[in-house]
């Protein structure tokens, strides 16, 4: 079998990446929150009725706390893994190996786990959350200064997929730190009357710290696949794409009819999410929706589509969603670790065996975004199957 370069092979020429992104990524074409009637931080309307554009007609897509059963089944709980052992001396080597195994097992079964003693300063997390709340609390017309225009992926908006008719009961703000930060620029518009630096310095410091954690986790997860820890991470040293989305879910008048964030898989390599103390995130396992217990002292880590491909599906990129409630607002900070847009993503030959034959053809991250990320997946496989080895001929359809 031909040896494929794993990730970040010599850059293919894909044209100007941002221009290509702008031309092809159209996440947010026709939904402004103004039209939707959603005002920050809660709808101004006194009405106890959910506006029609938020009513999810498909009952299977609706989510509520009732649909989870985790509390009765300990085995249905996303594992919490303690990273403390990484800080200890050589005597803890055995425990480190146990941690690597537990992490790999969690990714095989759940595609999700939480990490405790992660090394990111709690004060920094709090600071970033304060800034996120400050941002969402701005008047809508101020937030719209950084409105995510059709055809782009960064800025403030409703975070909808092109084929999505029902709006999420949420506001979102998506920023990029690498390869070039757009955070200062957006902060200058949002906080023109105040101190933009207070926002951008907190957000950048937070993202930098979380990126460090993401790389450590990437290396442990790579080791869990039986590869050299730096097999993938070495390629991200020079170039990488780091972005973060703030997700803000205001209290919802009729939560059982709405959805905070529809079931989806993350297209990225790795997602590191911090949720506040309000429950909302659910993960699908064995056709059940399980709530990820809010642990503000933890980060939620999940495998994205790219890591599923790199691991030849040993690690799973799993469907997840967010539900909303009527009494409490909820904030999550989702950081995404990615290769640069022109990197080639291909399963390393070491992970291709007769028992685990190669499933995906090599592709670039940009190609994946263009083909897979525009549209909401109906099932987890909908995105992936366009990139199956046997689907070469229709890959661009």
Strand partners, 80: 114
Per rule CB under 6 A, is residue 131 in the interface with ligand OGA? no
Q: Is there a catalytic annotation at residue 148?
A: no
Cβ 370 vs Cβ 22: under 8 Å = no
The active-site residue out of 148, 330, 361, 386 is 330
Strand segments (E) across the chain? 80-82, 112-116, 155-157, 171-178, 241-249, 261-264, 270-275, 281-285, 288-291, 299-303, 320-322, 330-338, 344-345, 363-364
Per rule CB under 6 A, is residue 245 in the interface with ligand OGA? yes
- Among 35-43, 71-79, 275-283, 375-383, the segment contacting ligand OGA (CB under 6 A): 275-283
Instruction: Give the one entry of Ni ion, ligand OGA, none that residue 217 binds, where binding means its C-beta sits below a cut-off of 5 to 8 angstroms depending on kind.
Output: none
Give me the half-sphere count of Cα atoms (radius 13 Å) on the Cβ side of residue 78: 29
Task: Work out how close the CB of 168 gets to ligand OGA at its nearest, in angstroms, rounded to a whole number.
Answer: 10
Interhelix angle for 122-136 vs 196-224, to 10°? 130
- Among 19-27, 132-140, 209-217, 274-282, the segment contacting ligand OGA (CB under 6 A): 274-282
Mask 304-323, x = binds ligand OGA (CB under 6 A)?
Answer: ----------------x-x-
Give me the torsion for CA of 60, 79, 84, 305, rounded to 10°: -50
Non-local (6+) Cβ contacts of 71 within 8 A are: none
Q: Which is nearer to Ni ion, 6 or 338 (CB)?
A: 338
- Among 103-111, 133-141, 265-273, 373-381, the segment contacting Ni ion (CB under 5 A): 265-273
CA distance 11 to 5: 11
The CA distances from residue 137 to 170, 190, 372, in Å, are 13, 11, 33
Task: Work out how close the CB of 266 gets to ligand OGA at its nearest, in angstroms, rounded to a whole number.
Answer: 5
Nearest to 225 by CA among 351, 82, 123, 136: 351
Quick one: DSSP state of residue 260?
A: S
CA distance 374 to 354: 34
- Among 188-196, 209-217, 259-267, 387-395, the segment contacting Ni ion (CB under 5 A): 259-267
Kindly tell me which residue out of 28, 129, 204, 266 binds Ni ion, with binding defined by CB under 5 A. 266
Cis, peptide link before residue 380, omega less than 30° from 0: no
Instruction: Give the one entry of ligand OGA, Ni ion, none that residue 50 binds, where binding means its C-beta sits below a cut-off of 5 to 8 angstroms depending on kind.
Output: none
- Among 8-16, 115-123, 177-185, 272-280, the segment contacting ligand OGA (CB under 6 A): 272-280
Cβ 165 vs Cβ 258: under 8 Å = no
Nearest to 112 by CA among 254, 290, 241: 290
Task: Work out how close the CB of 320 gets to Ni ion at its nearest, in angstroms, rounded to a whole number.
Answer: 6
Quick one: DSSP state of residue 372?
A: I
Per rule CB under 6 A, is residue 227 in the interface with ligand OGA? no
Task: Work out how close the CB of 250 gets to ligand OGA at its nearest, in angstroms, rounded to a whole number.
Answer: 13
| Location of structure tokens 């065996």 | 353
CA distance 274 to 128: 11
330-349 residues in contact with ligand OGA (CB under 6 A) are 332, 334
Per rule CB under 6 A, is residue 361 in the interface with ligand OGA? no
Kindly tell me which residue out of 247, 312, 317, 325 binds ligand OGA, with binding defined by CB under 6 A. 247
Task: Work out how close the CB of 397 gets to Ni ion at its nearest, in angstroms, rounded to a whole number.
Answer: 26
- Read off φ and ψ for residue 393, nearest 5 degrees: -65, -30
Instruction: Give the one entry of ligand OGA, Ni ion, none that residue 280 binds, where binding means its C-beta sits below a cut-off of 5 to 8 angstroms depending on kind.
Output: ligand OGA
Per rule CB under 6 A, is residue 281 in the interface with ligand OGA? yes
Task: Work out how close the CB of 25 gets to ligand OGA at its nearest, in angstroms, rounded to a whole number.
Answer: 16
Q: Which is nearer to ligand OGA, 186 or 318 (CB)?
A: 318
- Where on the chain is the footprint of ligand OGA (CB under 6 A)? 245, 247, 261, 266, 273, 275, 280-281, 320, 322, 332, 334
- Where on the chain is the footprint of Ni ion (CB under 5 A)? 266
Active-site amino acid positions: 330
């Amino acid at each position: 079998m031909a040896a494929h370069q794993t990730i970040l092979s010599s850059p293919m020429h894909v044209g100007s990446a941002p221009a290509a992104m702008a031309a092809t990524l159209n996440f947010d074409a026709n939904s402004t929150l103004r039209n939707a009637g959603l005002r920050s931080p809660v709808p101004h309307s006194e009405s106890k009725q959910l506006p029609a554009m938020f009513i999810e007609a498909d009952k299977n897509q609706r989510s509520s706390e009732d649909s989870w059963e985790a509390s009765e089944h300990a085995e249905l709980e996303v594992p919490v893994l303690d990273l403390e052992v990484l800080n200890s001396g050589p005597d803890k080597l055995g425990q480190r190996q146990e941690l690597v195994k537990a992490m790999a097992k969690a990714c095989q079964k759940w595609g999700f786990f939480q990490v405790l003693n992660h090394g990111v300063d709690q004060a920094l997390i709090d600071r970033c959350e304060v800034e996120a709340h400050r941002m969402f609390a701005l008047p809508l017309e101020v937030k719209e200064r950084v409105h995510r225009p059709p055809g782009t992926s960064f800025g403030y908006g409703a975070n909808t997929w092109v084929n999505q008719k029902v709006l999420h009961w949420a506001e979102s703000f998506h920023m990029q730190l690498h390869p070039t930060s757009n955070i200062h620029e957006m902060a200058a518009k949002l906080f023109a009357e105040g101190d933009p630096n207070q926002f951008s310095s907190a957000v950048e410091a937070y993202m930098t710290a979380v990126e460090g954690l993401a790389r450590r986790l990437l290396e442990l997860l790579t080791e869990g696949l039986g590869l050299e820890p730096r097999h993938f991470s070495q390629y991200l040293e020079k170039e990488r794409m780091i972005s973060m989305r703030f997700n803000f879910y205001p209290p919802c008048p009729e939560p059982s009819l709405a959805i905070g964030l529809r079931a989806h898989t993350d297209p990225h390599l790795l997602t590191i999410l911090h949720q506040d103390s309000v429950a909302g995130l659910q993960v699908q396992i064995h056709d059940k929706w399980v709530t990820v217990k809010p642990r503000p002292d933890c980060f939620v880590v999940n495998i994205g589509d790219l890591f599923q491909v790199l691991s030849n599906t040993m690690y799973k990129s799993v469907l997840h969603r967010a539900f909303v409630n009527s009494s409490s607002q909820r904030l999550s900070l989702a950081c995404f670790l990615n290769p640069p847009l022109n990197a080639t993503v291909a399963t390393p030959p070491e992970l291709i065996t007769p028992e685990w034959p190669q499933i995906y053809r090599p592709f670039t991250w940009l190609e994946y975004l263009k083909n897979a990320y525009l549209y909401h997946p109906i099932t987890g496989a909908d995105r992936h199957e366009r990139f199956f080895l046997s689907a070469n001929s229709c890959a661009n359809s």
